[in-house]
């Protein structure tokens, strides 16, 4: 089969089947509810980090046009009270702006609904952080240079602390620079 090399051919995308183009368009315009929810939580965090943090602890039960059904674990009473209390109006306004339509927050108090819902943004981030820290600690403990120093000094590695970017900046500004 000859390869089209003209500007009007495949290089311009004219030879691609329409089904592929339609599928790509659909995937960019209709993100799954979990991805839409995560993006909405991130947008709220940008607008107001404090209430965005509380919102991130909610598990999204459903996200439909005009309604976000949320559930909180029993040990997250502060975050639930923030989301469904004094910050509710601001959250609904931020979600409405981000999601492109009026969005009302609805609390789902059923423990079964909470358990069946996908993990919250905060839980996903905590899991990712723990996994990342375990991987870094394993790399440090297996590093030949670290093992060599421990052998020479006759010591052992007790704890590996992973500094987050904000902590690194604070540590670098805390120590005065020598000229």
pLDDT of residue 165: 78
Mean pLDDT value of segment 62-66:
88
Mean pLDDT value of segment 98-111:
92
Q: Cα(42)–Cα(76) distance, rounded to whole angstroms? A: 19
86, 134: one domain? no
114, 130: one domain? no
Neighbours of 82 (CB within 10 A): 19
- Quickly state the pLDDT bin for 28 (edges 50, 70, 90): very low
Q: Which structural domain, as residue segments, surrounds residue 147?
A: 123-174
pLDDT at 175 over 80: no
12: in domain = no
> CA gyration radius for the chain?
24
CA nearest neighbour of 119 among 68, 73, 69: 73
95: in domain = yes
**Residue 15 or residue 147, greater confidence:** 147
16: in domain = no
99, 152: one domain? no
131: in domain = yes
Domain boundary residue, one of 71, 102, 118? 118
56, 113: one domain? yes
105: in domain = yes
Q: Cα(56)–Cα(38) distance, rounded to whole angstroms? A: 8
100, 167: one domain? no
77, 154: one domain? no
Counted domains in the chain: 2
Mean pLDDT value of segment 111-135:
94
CA nearest neighbour of 37 among 56, 18, 14: 56
80, 128: one domain? no
CATH classification at residue 85 = 3.30.70.2210
Determine which helix (DSSP H) or strand (DSSP E) holds 59, and give its type and residue range: strand 59-64
- Quickly state the pLDDT bin for 19 (edges 50, 70, 90): very low
40, 103: one domain? yes
166: in domain = yes
94, 136: one domain? no
73: in domain = yes
């Amino acid at each position: 089969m000859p390869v089209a090399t003209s500007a009007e051919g495949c290089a311009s995308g004219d030879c691609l089947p329409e089904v592929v183009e339609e599928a790509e368009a659909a995937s960019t315009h209709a993100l799954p509810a979990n991805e839409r929810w995560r993006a909405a939580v991130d947008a709220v965090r940008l607008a107001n980090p404090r209430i965005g943090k509380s919102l991130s602890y909610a598990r999204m039960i459903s996200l439909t046009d005009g309604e976000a059904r949320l559930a909180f674990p029993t040990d997250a009473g502060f975050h639930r009270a923030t989301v469904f209390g004094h910050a509710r109006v601001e959250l609904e306004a931020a979600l409405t702006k981000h999601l492109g339509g009026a969005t009302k927050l609805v609390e789902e108090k059923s423990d079964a609904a909470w358990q069946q819902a996908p993990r919250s943004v905060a839980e996903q981030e905590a899991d990712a952080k723990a996994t990342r820290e375990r991987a870094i600690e394993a790399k440090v403990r297996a590093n030949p240079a670290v093992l060599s120093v421990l052998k020479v000094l006759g010591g052992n590695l007790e704890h590996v602390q992973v500094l987050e970017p904000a902590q690194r900046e604070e540590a670098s500004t805390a120590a005065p620079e020598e000229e």
